[in-house]
Amino acid sequence: MIVMKFSKHVFTVFFMVIMLQCIAQDVQQTERGVKLALNTTTVELQFYNASTVRVLKYPAGKETDPKSLSVIATPVKVNVSLKRSAGTVTVSSGQVNVAVNLSDGQVSFLGQKSKTPLLKEKAGSTSFEPFNDAGVSSYAIKQAFELDPEEAIYGLGSQQRGKMIQRNLKMNMVQGNTDDYVPFFQSVKGYGLFWDNYSPTIFEDNTAATSFSSQVGDCVDYYFMYGGNADGVIAQMRSLTGQAPMFPLWTYGFWQSRERYKSQAELVDVVRKYRQLNVPLDGVIQDWQYWGNNYLWNAMDFLNVDFPDPKKMVEDVRRLNAHMIISIWSSFGPQTLQYKELEKINALFNFKTWPESGSEKWPPNPNYPSGVRVYDAYNPAARDIYWKYLKNMHSIGIDGWWMDSSEPDHFNATDADLNTKTFLGSFRRVRNAYPLMTVGGVYQNQRKVDNSKRVFILTRSAFAGQQRYGANTWSGDVVSSWDALHNQVIAGLNFSLTGIPHWNSDIGGFFLWNFRRKLDDPEYRELYTRWLEFGAFNPMMRSHGADAPREIYQFGKKGDKVYDAIEKFIRLRYTLLPYIYSTSYQVTANQSSMMRALMMDFPSDKNVLPISDQFMFGKSLLVCPVVKPMYVKKVIAGKDTTMAEDFSTVRTRDAYLPAGSKWFDFWTSEPNNGGQWVKKETPIDIIPVFVKAGSILPAGPSVQYATEKKWDELEIRVYPGADGEFVLYEDENDNYNYEKGVFSTITFRWDDKKKILTIADRAGAFPGMLSNRKFNVTLVQQQAGKTSNVNYAGKQVKVKL
């Protein structure tokens, strides 16, 4: 009996050895990682760097090498090790360990020292359903993952759902006017996941799984990246999809537009009025129909008789020390030169888009169809034609491009529409990447002809990787309401967490459908003011909308509470320009973000994870927008009920101060400990803003436009309570010479124990740089702070405070 048992044991061991040898034959180490041929599925792991791994899955017997539209990184050489154990192959880069179950292909991701997975696929959830994609054999694909029950994830783009943590939801990811989808999320556990697919996709998270399901794809294709924290994850995402170039300094000033200025005289007069009122302004925007009727839609030419001399218009704006950008679209009317040229190369789509009628009257008259068609931005020749006509605008001095309908507008979408042939296959296959392609075409073509002026694009839609194209995305034509204002905070933060750092919204909301009296409605006036206060801490501060004009003088005059509050925050924006521009340098040079969800800087404080109405602007300022009405009351007169302003009582807002830091009230310098809720008074001209202890905050001069005065006498505010550092960045304010190292930095370091501020040697140089300057250094205290005046000539100075 003993012999029989021993024989069975020997046989079992022998069988396992044979099986492992068979498995080993199916595991192929590649230049980038490993390729595993399993029973029904091939799995490839491709390391792009030690912290980022690409996972490809496709049916056994098929070969695929998909070319990404978003990912532009070239994989670096990574030394990986393979470890085989019964039923599992583990590939390690030194930063990330990836385990593949050899029976079902389940992939799990672990950190270098982690024994439990950071993320793992749901076993058996990889799905390839045969799909006929406009005559091409393909698959509908799905992959599900298992997240911890309480794990907070963020990202997925800019939506109007009002949901900060992206759990327990179902999202139909198809680009739209007010929804920009980026199939990327990141976790508080320090990892990110990018689903690299451009077709209509369902993202769903429930108690069973977290999944992406795409209508069409040749394979499952996603990237796992470990960054350790949110900034690290964003750095990995940008290393894959491209770094964000710098915007000109003037783009960070205040912008005014409306739907629409109806003549060049009206547009120039708006800038002139701001100058007469001594209210700062840097940009004005011309919206649509400067081209004339809808049959000339997006002609990129001033064919409207009320714009008789566009070159003079641009020159008049420039003489008033402002900049101008102009609305351009992704579609063309049948009488435009672009339409005719694009039609010859079969680069126009046949689906319903805006405008539907050739008549400008509302509602659209179906008896007079506009014939407007969207162009094939996936076609490089079509993108070149687009720029061929746009460069005429560039030649007369237009400073940037407002790329409207960059989703593009697509009404009543059908399967037939999605079958539309593009240069890269069916429209279905590449649908969500349309904004990436059309925005990229403008950026790349302008860079070919002009490095003296930085590309600046304002766009309504975005996709993964768009940060590399000098574009600021706005949240679309949102309908004005208090809920909408709150939703913008959430949308901007989740969008930034996808790695795209520049975002803004129409201050005041685009449509005023909820306010019958428009600007005469006191609740709207309060809402507009609060929205503008929030906008002062966005990467772009831009007032815009339909139904009523929004220029400051439409809200009264100096001495009126609303007018004064608006002016106060516009001026505050300009005071913060040295801080904002230096923060923008950190975005470009060090993969930082401007709008920062609190979980980015305080991940260990669990209280901050769901907070949706506060954020960091840069790494020093904690901003708490007011997103509820406070200063209106109902007035009943007979059967009528109206709203009236009521400033008789100063209201308050609760704000949470994250743990681990001391905080100073920006307005009063009052110190507060972190880890607590505080109640702050919020008159109409105040929102709670706090400065983190250890911050060094530069304050700029009072100006009418961003470059009016040199920064030769900056106030430097030091907030004690912790050591700190700040890098003041300066360059020529426009052009791409900074890419060649033509800029300077001055590093300020605060030693809190010794109460010494060290201003280091200036690094770098650029034409026009200040050789000598004064810093007025203030140690911020609740009582009058101590100020030291420092003459600085580029060499280290120590200041005892």
Active site positions, annotated: 404, 407, 477
**Strand 421-422 and strand 671-673: pairing?**
unpaired
Q: Which residues pair with 171 in a beta bridge?
A: 203
- The continuous run of DSSP H or E covering 254 comes out as strand 254-256
Both tokens of 535, joined, read 């906008």
Classify the phi-psi angles of 41: left when phi > 0, otherwise alpha if psi is within -120 to 50, otherwise beta. beta
CA distance 237 to 192: 8
Q: What is the DSSP letter of 170?
A: E
β-strand partners of 212: 143, 203
**Helix (H), strand (E) at residue 533:** helix 522-535
Taking alpha carbons only, the member of 291, 319, 310, 533 closest to residue 543 is: 533
Cα 309–chain centre separation: 36
HEC readout, 376-407: CCCCHHHHHHHHHHHHHHHHCCCCEEEECCCC
Torsion over CA of 792, 798, 799 and 801, rounded to 10 degrees?
Answer: 160
Q: Minimal CA–CA distance to 343: which of 376, 305, 311?
A: 376
Amino acid identity for residue 267 in this structure:
L
Q: How far apart are CA 694 and CA 417, in angstroms?
A: 56
SS (H, E, C) 713-727: EEEEEECCCCCEEEE
- What distance in Å separates the CA atoms of residue 556 and residue 786, rounded to the nearest whole number? 38
Classify burial at 323, counting beta carbons within 10 Å of its beta carbon; exposed 0-12, middle 13-18, buried 19 or more.
buried
Pairing state of beta strands 323-328 and 283-286?
parallel
**Phi then psi dihedrals of residue 311, to 5 deg:** -65, -40
Tell which residue, 217, 234, 306, has the closest CA to residue 268.
306
Question: Within a 10 A sphere around the Cβ of 26, how many other Cβ atoms?
Answer: 14
Question: DSSP letter at 348?
Answer: B
What are φ and ψ of residue 795, in 5° steps? -110, 155
| 335 backbone φψ class: left, alpha, beta (φ>0; ψ -120 to 50) | alpha
- The count of C-alpha atoms lying within 13 angstroms of the C-alpha of 57, restricted to the half-sphere facing its C-beta, is 26
Residues 58, 211: Cα–Cα separation, whole Å? 17
* d(C-alpha 742, C-alpha 762), whole Å: 13
Is 729 exposed, middle or buried, given 0-12, 13-18 or 19+ CB atoms closer than 10 A? buried
DSSP code for 479: B
Residues 6+ apart with CB under 8 A from 9: none
How many degrees, rounded to 5, is the angle at CA 463 between CA 339 and CA 537?
110
Beta bridge mates, 699: 715
* Closest C-alpha to 766, from 748, 747, 746: 746
CB 393 within 8 A of CB 404: no
Structure tokens at 244: 């964000």
Nearest residue to 710 (alpha-carbon basis) of 584, 536, 577: 577
User: How far is Cα 522 from Cα 516, in angstroms, rounded to an integer?
Assistant: 11
| Dist. CA 310–CA 139, nearest whole Å | 51
C-beta separation of 428 from 419 below 8 A: yes
